[in-house]
């Protein structure tokens, strides 16, 4: 799990960015708006989303929810984040959705959902804890809470260079871990040069 040092570094980093940029993609620093759009489209391809409950862990400024709305999806959306200003802002902007300040590692996941999404949550390198162990724990918690499946994206180790302060995963390692939880796993490594997404399903997909 995230220790207190890493947790509060994250909270401080994004609180300061939010003060500086407000409701802007630069607050979360996803790289570019186009990259964010592509990543969201990959997450939304997990299955039929209409009339489903979606839990977005690390929801940030609810950009994934905005994407779903822009594409005409009708979903019951729940967003978790550890950054309180994000949650307060989201509640004002999207009163029809549900938002909570929640640390899933300490407080667990209290909502079940059809699909659980974690989009660009684990890109930063931790100083005092193992990134891979944190991600594996998050996957296990999310998969337990999902009725149908989960999606999670990460930076891939298959790059020409690595940016300092970011963490790059070997996709095969996370695929192997996912297969220890379920037989039904999909790995997408074909949509952006530096990212990959894992889908874990409770049962066979059609």
Each domain of the chain, given as residue ranges in start order, spans: 4-201
- Structurally, what CATH architecture does the domain formed by 4-201 represent? 3-Layer(aba) Sandwich (3.40)
Q: Residue 106: is it exposed, middle or buried by C-beta count within 10 angstroms (0-12/13-18/19+)?
A: exposed
Do 197 and 151 contact (CB within 8 A), yes or no? yes
Picking from 71, 86, 76, the residue whose alpha carbon sits closest to that of residue 54 is 76
pLDDT tens digits, 55-94: 999 999 999 999 999 999 999 999 999 999 999 999 999 9
Q: What is the mean pLDDT of each run of 10 residues along the chain (206 residues)?
A: 84 92 84 90 98 98 97 98 97 98 96 96 92 97 98 97 96 98 98 97 82
Picking from 132, 152, 142, 76, the residue whose alpha carbon sits closest to that of residue 104 is 142
> What pLDDT is attached to residue 64?
97
């Amino acid at each position: 799990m995230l220790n207190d040092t890493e947790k509060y570094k994250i909270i401080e980093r994004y609180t300061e960015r939010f003060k500086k940029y407000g409701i802007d993609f630069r607050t979360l620093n996803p790289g570019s708006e186009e990259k964010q759009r592509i990543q969201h489209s990959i997450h939304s391809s997990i299955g039929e989303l209409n009339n489903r409950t979606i839990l977005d862990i690390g929801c940030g400024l609810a950009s994934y929810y905005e994407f779903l709305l822009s594409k005409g999806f009708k979903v019951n959306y729940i967003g978790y984040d550890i950054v309180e200003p994000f949650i307060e802002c989201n509640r004002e902007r999207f009163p029809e959705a549900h938002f909570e300040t929640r640390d899933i590692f300490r407080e667990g996941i209290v909502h079940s959902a059809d699909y659980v999404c974690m989009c660009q949550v684990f890109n930063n390198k931790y100083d005092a804890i193992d990134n891979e162990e944190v991600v594996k724990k998050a996957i296990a918690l999310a998969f337990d809470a999902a009725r149908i499946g989960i999606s999670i994206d990460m930076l891939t180790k298959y790059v020409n260079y690595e940016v300092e302060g970011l963490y790059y995963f070997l996709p095969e390692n996370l695929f192997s871990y996912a297969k220890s939880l379920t037989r039904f796993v999909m790995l997408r490594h074909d949509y952006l040069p530096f990212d990959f997404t894992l889908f874990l399903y409770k049962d066979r997909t059609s």
